[in-house]
A and B are shown apart, each in its own frame.
Chain A
Amino acid sequence: MAGVLGTSIKRREDPALITGRGKYTDDLLVEGMAHAAIVRSPYAHARIRGIDTSAAKTYPGVVAVLTARDVAAAGIPGMVPVGWLLPDLKTPAHPMIAADTVRHVGDAVAVVVAEDRYVARDAAERVAVDYEPLDAVADVVAALEDGAPAVHDDAPGNVAFDWEIGEKDPVDAAFAQAAHTVELDLRNNRLIPHAIEPRAALASYDSSTGVMTIHMTSQNPHVHRLLMTLASLGMPEHKVRIVAPEVGGGFGSKIHHYADEAIVGLCSLKLDRPVKWTATRTETNLTDAHGRDHSTHCAMAFDGDGRITGLRVDTKAAMGAYLSTFAPAVPTYLYGTLMSGQYDIPAIHCHVTGVFTHTAPVDAYRGAGRPEATFVVERLMHLAGEATGLGPIEVRKRNFVPADAFPYQTQVALAYDSGNYGPAMDRALEMIGYDDLCREQASRRGNGNGNGRRQMGIGFSSYIEACGLAPSAVVGSLGAQAGQWESADVRVHPTGSVTVYTGSSSHGQGHETTFSQIVADRLGVAPEAVEVIHGDTDLVQFGMGTYGSRSAAVGGSAIAGSVDKIIEKGKKIAAHLLEAAAEDLEYEDGSFRVAGSPDRALGLGDVALQAYLAHNYPDDLEPGLSATTFYDPANFTYPFGTHVCVVEVDTETGSIELLRYAAVDDVGNVINPMIVDGQLHGGLAQGIGQALWENAVYDDSGQLVSGSLMDYALPKIHNLIPFELDRTTTPCPHNPLGVKGVGEAGAIASPPAVVNAVVDALKPFGVTHIDMPLTPEKVWRAVNAD
Chain B
Amino acid sequence: MTVSIQLEVNGKPVQAEVEPRRLLVHFLREDLGLTGANIGCETSLCGACTILVDGSAVKSCTMLAAQADGAAVTTIEGLARNGELHPLQDGFWEKHGLQCGYCTPGMILSANYLLEQNPSPSDEEIREGLKGNICRCTGYHNIVEAVKYAAERMS
Write the residues of chain A forming the contact surface with B, with a CB cutoff of 8 angstroms. 10-11, 13-24, 26-27, 29, 117-118, 194-198, 246-249, 251, 278, 280-282, 507-510, 674-675, 677-678, 681-686, 708-710, 714-718, 720, 722-723, 746
Contact = CB atoms under 8 A, between A and B. Distances in A.
Among all A-B residue pairs, the 9 with the closest Cβ atoms:
A20-B36, A248-B102, A17-B101, A508-B100, A685-B139, A681-B139, A20-B76, A508-B99, A27-B35
Interface of B: 19, 21-22, 26, 29-30, 33-43, 45-46, 48, 75-77, 79-80, 85, 89, 92-94, 96, 98-105, 108, 123, 126-128, 130-131, 133-144
Contacts of B94: 10
Given A27-B29, A29-B30, A281-B40, A678 B96 contact: yes
B153 to A, nearest CB: 15
Contact of A24 (B46, B85, B102, B142): B102
Nearest to B86: A18
Contacts of B133: 717
A603 to B, nearest CB: 32
Contact of A197 (B33, B42, B92, B102): B102
Nearest to A10: B93
Nearest to A251: B136
Contact of B134 (A27, A117, A246, A709): A709
A677 B139 CA distance: 10
Nearest to B90: A18
A13 B100 CA distance: 9
A247 B101 CA distance: 9
Nearest to A709: B45
B42 A280 contact: yes
Contact of B141 (A11, A248, A708, A723): A723
A718 B103 contact: no
Contacts of B102: 24, 195-197, 246, 248-249
Contacts of B130: 717-718
B136 A195 contact: yes
Among A20, A197, A251, A678, the most chain B Cβ lie within 10 Å of the Cβ of A20
B52 to A, nearest CB: 13
B140 to A, nearest CB: 4
A681 B94 CA distance: 16
Contact of A709 (B43, B77, B79, B138): B43
Contacts of A717: 126-127, 130-131, 133, 135, 140, 143-144
B148 to A, nearest CB: 11
Among A13, A195, A714, A716, the most chain B Cβ lie within 10 Å of the Cβ of A716
B123 to A, nearest CB: 7
A117 B126 CA distance: 37
A683 B139 CA distance: 7
B110 to A, nearest CB: 10
A10 B146 CA distance: 13
Contact of A18 (B33, B41, B85, B139): B85
Contacts of A29: 30, 33
B132 to A, nearest CB: 8
B98 A18 contact: yes
B99 A18 contact: no
Given A19-B77, A247-B100, A678-B96, 20 more contacts: A10-B96, A19-B79, A20-B34, A21-B77, A24-B102, A26-B38, A27-B35, A29-B30, A118-B22, A249-B100, A249-B137, A251-B136, A507-B100, A508-B100, A681-B138, A681-B140, A710-B45, A714-B136, A718-B131, A723-B141
A20 B138 contact: no
Contacts of A722: 123, 141, 144
Nearest to A681: B139
A118 B96 contact: no
A15 B104 CA distance: 11
A197 B38 contact: yes
A766 B29 CA distance: 56
Contacts of B137: 249, 508, 678, 682
B101 A19 contact: no
Contact of B101 (A18, A194, A278, A709): A18
Nearest to A708: B43
